[in-house]
Structure 1
Amino acid sequence: MTNSHPKKQKVWRVVYTRSRAEKKVHADLTSQNIECFLPLQKKLRQWKDRKKWVEMPLISGYCFINIEPSEYEKVLQTDNVVCYVTFEGKPARIPHQQIDFLKQMLRQSDFEVEICRETFEPGKRAEIISGPLIGLQGELLSCRGNDRFVLRIEQINTVFSVEVPASQLTALPELV
Structure 2
Amino acid sequence: MHLFSTLAVASALVATSVLAHPGHDTRHEIAERAAFMKTSKRDLSHCAAKMKARGLEARAVQRRAAIAKSTREKRGLPTSAPYLRARDAASVLNTTHHSDVDYNPLTPEATLFSSNNSCILSPEVTQGPYYASGEYIRRNLIEDQEGVEMIIDLQVIDMATCEPVVNSMIDFW
TM-score per shorter chain, which class?
under 0.3
Larger Rg belongs to: 2
More strand by share: 1
More helix by share: 2
TM-score, scaled relative to structure 1? 0.19
TM-score, scaled relative to structure 2? 0.19
